[in-house]
C-alpha cells in the first residue's frame, strides 16, 4: 500500500544515550504519523533531563494532577440514555451500558478502565480502545497501551492502526473496531502529548528536585573545598576524601573536622537561600498545574488564599467547568460516534452525571430541594431518590406549588366551591 506523509527517513544506529530508546526504529522509514518516534526524540529538555511518562510521574505535582483528573472522572456515574417524545429520557439497560459502567473487560472494573483512559489522554495525548462485538452487540472494551500503537495514513488520508502486544506479533486493528480518543489536537486526528510539549517545564522541575535532594543530603550547607599547601599523591587524596565523607552530609551535621597543618577549608557554590531553591520548586508546581489546568490548591499546594469554606466550593465549580468538562465531553462524543449505530444515535446518548461533584453541603442541598419542590419542578420522591432514600409514593410523588404563587389578575378571586360554601354559611346564619 502506498503511504502518504512519508519523510523517507531511515534511522541509523545512534550511540548517544538520549537516543538509546529509539532502537526499535532502526532501519525503519519514518513518517509524520510515527508519534512514538517524534515524542521520544523531543523528550530531552533544555535542562538535560530525559522526560518520559515514568520520569514525569515521579514529580509530585504531575502525579497529583493526573490522579485528580483521572480518578474524578472515573468515579462519576456514566449512563446510557434514550430521549422520549415528551422531552424526557429513560436510562437504557443493555450490554453496552454494562460494559461502560460496570465491567469493560475481563480484567478491569469501570473505575480502573476509565482511569487508564484519562491518564493516557493526559500524558500521551491519545487513548486507544479496541472494541469487541458478538452478534452485533458490544461485549467488551480493551484499553491499549499508547506506546505500543503505530498510526499510519492510507491514500485517502484515513488513519490505519497497528498494535504490538507485549507477547505477540504486530497486527492491524480495523477502524470500526477502534475507539480512538485524541486530546487537544492541531489537526483534529492525533492528540498532542503533554510529556513531549511540556518537556522543558518537567525537566526543569526534575532539576530543581535533584538540587533540593542534594542540598538536604549535604545538611543544607554549601560545598566545602579543602586547600592544601602541598602536592598529595593518589593514595593520600583517596584517604582524605574518605575522611571528608565521615564529617559531611546531613547525617554528620554538627561533627567538627580535624584539619592538619597546611589544610584550609573554603566554601564554594551558591547558598540555597540565595539560589531561591524553595521559590523555584513552588514555581515548578504552578507551571505543571498550568499544563494540566488544575488549581494548585486542588492538589494540596497551599497558597495565601483559603483552601476551605466557600472558596473551595467555587474552585470545585471552576474545576468541573474549565477542566473536567472538556475531557468528559470528548469521552461522551467518542462513545456516541464509535459505540452507537447511526440509528441509535438519533435517540440514544451517553452522559456523565456531574451532580455528585456539585451537590454542596447538607444545608445547601436542603435549600435547593425546598425551592425545587415549592416551584413544582421536583416531587418529594425525586428528592428522596437523590439522597439515596426509598420512594414513598402517593402524595410524595405529586408535583406541588405554593398556592400564594397565583397570577396577579386572580388575586382575591374565589373558587366556585368557596362561593357556594360562603352562600350556604350566610343562609344558615340568617335562619339562626
Report the C-alpha gap between 420 and 418 in whole angstroms. 6
Cell numbers for 236: 593520600
Other residues' Cβ atoms within 10 Å of the Cβ of residue 282: 15
Q: Out of 98-107, 113-122, 390-399, 413-422, which region has the weakest mean confidence (pLDDT)?
A: 413-422
Q: What is the pLDDT of residue 271?
A: 53
Q: What is the pLDDT of residue 109?
A: 94
Mean of the pLDDT values across residues 325-342? Answer: 95
DSSP assignments along 198-209, one per residue? THHHHHHHHHHH
Which residue, 81, 91, 141, 98, is CA-closest to 116?
A: 141
Which residue, 174, 268, 162, is CA-closest to 224?
A: 268
DSSP secondary structure letter of residue 375: B
Mean of the pLDDT values across residues 328-342? Answer: 95
Question: Where does the pLDDT of residue 66 fall: very low under 50, low under 70, confident under 90, or very high at 90 and above?
Answer: very high
| Total residue count of the chain as it appears in this document | 432
Evaluate whether 422 touches 397 at the Cβ level (below 8 Å). no
Mean pLDDT of the chain: 77
Report the C-alpha gap between 202 and 206 in whole angstroms. 6
Strand partners, 185: 191
Q: What is the pLDDT of residue 19?
A: 38
Report the C-alpha gap between 231 and 226 in whole angstroms. 13
Phi, psi of 315 (to 5 degrees): -65, -40
Name 36's Cβ contacts closer than 8 Å, sequence gap at least 6.
Answer: 147, 149, 150
Q: How many helices (H) and strands (E) does the chain have?
A: 15, 13
Burial 411-421 (b: 16+ CB within 10 A, else e): eeeeeeeeeee
Runs of H (alpha helix) within 13-168: 35-41, 53-56, 60-75, 95-101, 110-124
Question: Where does the pLDDT of residue 95 fall: very low under 50, low under 70, confident under 90, or very high at 90 and above?
Answer: very high
What are the pLDDT digits (tens) for 7-62?
A: 333 333 333 333 334 445 544 554 545 545 544 444 555 666 778 888 888 888 89
Report the C-alpha gap between 55 and 306 in whole angstroms. 32
How are the residues of the chain apportioned to helix, strand and coil, as percentages rounded to the nearest 5?
45, 20, 35
Mean of the pLDDT values across residues 382-390? Answer: 81
Q: What is the pLDDT of residue 179?
A: 96
**C-alpha dihedral (40, 41, 45, 46), degrees to nearest 10:** 180
Own/partner pairs for 394-403, CB < 8 Å, 24+ apart? 400/373, 400/374, 400/376, 401/374, 401/375, 401/376, 402/374
Evaluate whether 123 touches 66 at the Cβ level (below 8 Å). yes
Mean of the pLDDT values across residues 129-136? Answer: 93
Q: Out of 12-21, 236-245, 255-264, 409-418, which region has the weakest mean confidence (pLDDT)?
A: 12-21
* Sheet containing strand 126-134, strands side by side: 137-144, 126-134, 178-182
Amino acid at each position: 500500500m502506498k503511504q502518504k506523509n512519508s519523510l523517507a527517513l531511515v534511522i541509523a544506529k545512534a550511540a548517544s544515550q538520549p537516543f538509546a530508546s529509539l532502537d526499535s526504529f532502526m532501519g525503519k522509514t519514518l513518517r509524520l504519523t510515527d508519534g512514538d518516534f517524534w515524542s521520544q526524540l523531543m523528550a530531552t529538555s533544555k535542562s538535560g533531563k530525559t522526560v518520559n511518562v515514568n520520569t514525569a510521574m515521579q514529580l509530585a505535582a504531575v502525579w497529583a494532577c493526573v490522579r485528580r483528573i483521572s480518578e474524578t472522572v472515573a468515579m462519576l456515574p456514566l449512563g446510557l440514555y434514550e430521549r422520549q417524545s415528551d422531552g424526557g429520557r429513560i436510562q437504557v439497560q443493555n450490554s453496552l451500558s454494562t460494559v461502560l459502567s460496570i465491567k469493560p473487560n475481563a480484567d478491569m472494573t469501570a473505575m480502573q478502565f476509565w482511569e487508564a483512559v484519562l491518564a493516557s489522554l493526559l500524558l500521551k495525548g491519545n487513548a486507544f480502545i479496541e472494541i469487541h462485538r458478538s452478534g452485533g452487540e458490544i461485549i467488551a472494551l480493551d484499553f491499549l497501551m499508547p506506546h505500543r500503537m503505530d498510526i499510519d495514513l492510507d491514500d485517502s488520508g484515513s488513519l490505519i492502526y497497528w498494535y504490538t502486544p507485549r507477547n505477540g506479533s504486530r497486527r492491524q486493528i480495523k477502524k470500526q473496531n477502534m475507539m480512538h480518543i485524541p486530546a487537544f489536537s492541531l489537526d483534529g486526528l492525533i492528540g498532542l502529548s503533554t510529556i513531549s510539549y511540556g518537556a522543558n517545564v518537567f525537566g526543569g522541575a526534575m532539576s530543581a528536585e535533584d538540587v533540593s535532594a542534594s542540598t538536604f543530603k549535604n545538611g543544607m550547607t554549601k560545598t566545602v573545598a579543602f586547600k592544601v599547601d602541598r602536592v598529595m599523591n593518589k593514595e593520600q587524596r583517596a584517604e582524605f576524601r574518605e575522611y571528608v565523607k565521615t564529617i559531611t552530609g546531613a547525617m554528620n551535621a554538627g561533627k567538627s573536622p580535624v584539619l592538619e597543618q597546611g589544610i584550609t577549608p573554603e566554601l564554594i557554590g551558591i547558598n540555597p537561600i540565595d539560589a531561591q531553591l524553595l521559590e523555584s520548586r513552588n514555581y515548578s508546581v504552578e507551571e505543571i498545574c498550568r499544563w494540566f489546568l488544575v488549581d494548585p490548591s486542588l492538589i494540596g499546594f497551599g497558597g495565601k488564599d483559603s483552601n476551605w469554606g466557600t472558596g473551595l466550593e467555587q474552585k470545585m465549580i471552576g474545576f468541573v467547568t474549565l477542566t473536567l468538562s472538556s475531557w468528559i465531553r470528548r469521552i461522551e462524543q467518542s462513545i456516541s460516534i464509535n459505540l452507537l449505530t447511526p440509528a441509535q444515535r438519533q435517540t440514544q446518548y451517553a452522559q456523565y452525571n456531574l451532580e455528585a461533584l456539585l451537590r454542596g453541603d447538607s444545608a445547601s442541598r436542603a435549600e435547593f430541594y425546598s425551592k425545587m419542590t415549592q416551584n413544582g419542578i421536583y416531587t418529594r420522591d425525586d428528592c428522596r431518590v437523590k439522597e439515596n432514600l426509598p420512594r414513598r409514593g402517593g402524595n410524595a410523588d405529586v408535583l406541588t406549588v405554593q398556592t400564594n404563587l397565583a397570577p396577579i389578575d386572580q388575586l382575591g378571586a374565589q373558587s366556585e366551591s368557596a362561593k357556594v360554601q360562603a352562600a350556604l354559611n350566610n343562609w344558615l346564619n340568617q335562619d339562626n
